Amino acid sequence: MGRWEPLLETLVRERYARLLARAALVAATPAEAEDLVQDALVATFGGRARFGSVEQAEQYVRRAIVSRSIDRARSRTSERRAVERLAGRTDAAAAEPALAGVDRDLVAALHLLGPRERACVVLRHLDDLSVAQTAAALRLSDGAVKRYTSDGLALLAAHLGATADADRTPVRLVRTESTRDA
Amino acid sequence: MPDLGDMLWRAERALESGYTGRAAAPGAVARAKRLVRRRRTLRHWGEGVGAVAAVGVVGAVVWLGAPGDREPPLPAATGSTAASSPTPTGEPEPSADPEPTESGAATPTFTSTPTAAGCSPGGGGVPVGADVRQVVDVDGDGRPDRAWLATEDDGQRRFGITTASGATFWIDIESASPIQASAVVQLVQSDHVPIALVDFSRSAQVYSLAGCAVTEVLNAQGLPYTFDRGMGDQGTGAGCTLVGGALRLAGLDAVRNPDGTYDVSRTFIDLDAGARHATNESRVVVARGAKADAPVVVTASEVSCGELVAGRDGPVQPMP
């Protein structure tokens, strides 16, 4: 058994909910979230990167989930069509948790964005990546990242009234939950 | 005003909290590990072949560049030199040359040998725990055969046929989808070629069952022929339409209109001899403004062939 195997097992056992949550933010449908996690696990552990800890592996997989979300969605149009097609289908196993208030509205608004817009917004504003880092992660140009981020923010703002500066310089922190909660 | 980063972070934590206790689908981890192993093996193999090729190129350049007493070069060692030998009659053996799949992974198969009285016996029979259903006569001996879907101990999914003559042949299914697979087996086209449609919920794949083997049908690009099941913009289902007394394989696409009705289009798919390659015909609209529960819409949202529907009239992957 390779050293990566127990790491993968531990990651799925201990962090599956967290990975699914990330996937649910960028997936076109709740049902796609599970597929995204699965794809990202295979892409991450099947690649060249090596991890020393579950935390490190989790970061890679979370990033892979976002980049894979773009790969899976060929275009915004096709994705929207897919959402419409799947609207009438039930998939209890893949159902998204019931959210309330702002969380529900935000996730619903995210689902209205195109996959690239969603991915750019999440990487720039949730992971605090720079434009260059986001471009590298998503294999897009810097200009495309700026445009998708700006478009995404505008749509989100229209739906939520949230404000965020598309040209802000993200503060890069080694984030922990305690610092966020503070 | 709330910061978007904070809002996203809190929404993600809310989702995480909602997902707490949710485990990966049964077999999903084992399937992921198997795909990772395969990907790593292929990468190492590719790197090895690349290194050998590089050495060979350098050697050839050196040899070509050296004047005078040249001698014929020794045969270069490569990563794949073995030629497959003919299969002994009645003794099935694993395929020697697995085809690459769309994801780049090799797909192990197990074949039997066709004879006048059906496929020759052997192959181990139906795996323990497999879901088995009686299906049409696959090997042409006039007796119905059995199709099965199994989940191996390591999570690997396997689809196979066990004939009335006692032959068993199968293929490992490579799909990252955590959803249960289901299958339907049917004879199509005027030459009654046996095929299987395996439904992965998000996609479906067609396999040829001709020649006592389960073989991936390839598209024009040489990749496994896959039906979109609504996740992309190509289609929502697969089916078989009766034309001139024979079933013809078709890709189906039900597109929802703003008024809630559906337009359904169909693309017939021609299979070559042995059903190894598939070619699309033109896309044709077969229904406009159909209600969601109209048979044409329902069929376009399923994987079926004639009257047989995957998940109902064929094996369903057992959960480990």
Interface contact B232, partner A, CB < 8 A = yes
The model's pLDDT over B162-186, given as tens digits with 9 standing for 90+, comes to: 999 999 999 998 766 667 899 999 9
What are the start-end ranges of the H helices in chain B? 4-19, 28-65, 295-300
Domains identified in chain A and CATH numbers: 1-97 (no CATH), 99-173 (1.10.10.10)
Using a CB-CB cut-off of 8 Å, the residues of chain A touching B39 are 42, 46
Task: State residue B69's pLDDT score.
Answer: 38
Q: Is residue A105 within 8 Å of A147, Cβ to Cβ? A: no
The model's pLDDT over B132-171, given as tens digits with 9 standing for 90+, comes to: 999 999 999 999 999 999 988 777 889 999 999 999 999 9
Question: What value does the mean pLDDT take over residues B186-211?
Answer: 92
Q: Is residue B104 within 8 Å of B286, Cβ to Cβ? A: no
B117 pLDDT band, cuts 50/70/90, is: confident
Using a CB-CB cut-off of 8 Å, the residues of chain A touching B36 are 4, 8, 41-42, 45-46
Task: State residue B47's pLDDT score.
Answer: 59
The model's pLDDT over B235-258, given as tens digits with 9 standing for 90+, comes to: 899 999 988 889 999 999 998 888
Using a CB-CB cut-off of 8 Å, the residues of chain B touching A170 are 5
Closest Cα partner for A55 from A91, A99, A100, A14? A14
Interface contact A136, partner B, CB < 8 A = no
- Alpha-carbon torsion (B250, B256, B257, B259), positive or negative: positive
Report d(CA B10, CA A128) in Å as an integer.
Answer: 15
Which amino acid is it at A116? R
Which amino acid is it at A54? V
